[in-house]
Amino acid sequence: MKKCGFNLDCSYSKLPDFFFTKIAPKKVESPKLVLLNNNLTKLLDLDFSMIDENLKADLFSGNILPPKSKPISQAYAGHQFGNFSILGDGRAVLIGEHINTSNEKFDIQFKGSGTTPYSRSGDGRAALSPMLREYLISEAMHFLNIPTTRSLAVTSTGEKVFREKAFPGAILTRIASSHIRVGTFQYAAFKGSLKVQRKLLDYTINRHFNDIKDSEYPGLQFLKSMMLKQIDLTINWMRVGFIHGVMNTDNMSVNGETIDYGPCAFMDYYNPNTCFSSIDYNKRYSFENQKIITQWNLARFAETLLPFLDKSMKKSLNTAQEIIESFNDCFSEKWKIMMKCKLGILNSEKGDSKIINDLLLWMEKNAVDYTNTFYHLTSEKKLVDPIYNSKSFNNWYKNWMNRIKRNDKPLTDAFKVMRNHNPRVIPRNHIVEESLLELSENNDSKSFNELTKLLSDPYNYDKNIKNKYTLPNLDKTYLYETFCGT
């Protein structure tokens, strides 16, 4: 294992035992490596070329562990659909933190590695298709330039996982800057002493926000910095039409990375109320509600930091309230900047918000594709679709063209910015499902590999791409549902 390049630290294990349970992955019967992310191995400075397939399968199933591993499952809490629960890694084991040659630190976690003390009634296992899905979508998000956890490998276990029926089992090797969540701080605040909470705060600041550790009240700067990261992340999601689907506080990374790809999906036809999760009955986590929920989650996070914002609890409450109330103005300004980039508006005029909102209202009224509308505006190759020849669209288009000509910069600059903000391709839900079915049930990886390769270059406007990868599901009555996979 040493020749693979593993350089493990286990700093999280040095926190009080309160935060985790020491537990090894449960061994599996006959592991087989399904996917290995060679692009990511390079970033991590790992090299598995010198070990055979059987050893790789044992490694990425948890049957054997790299040197210096200290496997643990993390404890945390969380508001799930608004209801507070004590949770924890019910089917995941963190084996340590790998440090690459650039001194960057990455958690290495096995997802689907067996029961833990936090499994509740779960079996601790994962099915192959949802793990392949997380691999595919997390890599797509990475190449869309959105902060995200990533997937290093998927290994089938040779065992069955029972959900609504029997599925082949699998283990995902997930990579993250850390797995510290808002829910981790909620757990500490609910069950721990101030001393324990302070240890978690100091550890997190040293790991992710080192520039603020010498502040008089580092908790205050932490809250402000974390809020900006979460705003940027949510706006990035909305930039590409991504709907997370399960924005519980235990799925909110304090370092602003997208984590947990269970019921997520990408919006085709623009509708701000779009929601795909089969269990989100009230559309709490719909596309447009992602802003509201980000603020709500941040308020829950602020509650856990009250003892560290000021010596006076009264001042701490006022400070926290001021920060959370500043969210809306900050979010709105950043969202407007993002939308102006999507439309190539490079300076400011009074009517910019109207141009943005008029387009979104037109898109919603006519149920047009979100990604393709911005592609139509950005690309020299206009889409052949009668909707873009309608009088209402042409009127808007004329106003928009007149606006970007007033940028005081060459028109080419506007389109360059647009190309960097408007992807040509996204993971189309129906195409994702087709490729997952072929690989997980028919053992045919051709479609999955082709889609993965295509999604690794989403802003390439010069490449000829098959229509099936760029078109939404043409059946607008089709109800697409997503599931957690547990």
- DSSP one-letter string for 105-159: EEEEEEESB---TT-TT--SBEEHHHHHHHHHHHHHHHHTT--B-EEEEEEEEEE
Residue pair 176/253 in contact (Cβ under 8 Å)? The answer is yes
The domain segmentation of the chain, as residue ranges, is 2-176, 182-335
Q: Each residue of 134-174: pLDDT tens digit?
A: 999 999 999 999 999 999 999 999 999 998 899 999 999 99
Point out the least confidently predicted range of 140-144, 304-308, 380-384, 432-436: 380-384
How far is 81 from 250, CA to CA, in rounded Å? 11
At 474 the pLDDT is: 84
> Which of 107, 250, 260, 310 is an active site residue?
250
Q: Which residues pair with 99 in a beta bridge?
A: 105
| Burial class of residue 333 (count of CB atoms within 10 Å of its CB; 0-12, 13-18, 19+) | exposed
Question: Any catalytic annotation for residue 58?
Answer: no
> Measured over all CA atoms, what is the biggest interatomic distance in the chain, rounded to whole angstroms?
66
CA distances from 244 to 28, 31, 248, 271 (A): 31, 30, 10, 15
Residue pair 74/19 in contact (Cβ under 8 Å)? The answer is yes
- DSSP three-state, residue 206: helix
Q: How confident is the model at residue 128 (pLDDT cuts 50, 70, 90)?
A: very high
Q: How confident is the model at residue 2 (pLDDT cuts 50, 70, 90)?
A: low
- Across the range 454-482, mean pLDDT stands at 91
Bigger pLDDT: 327 vs 383: 327
- Across the range 230-237, mean pLDDT stands at 98
At 51 the pLDDT is: 93
| pLDDT of residue 423 exceeding 80 | yes
The pair of structure tokens assigned to 303 is: 């509650």
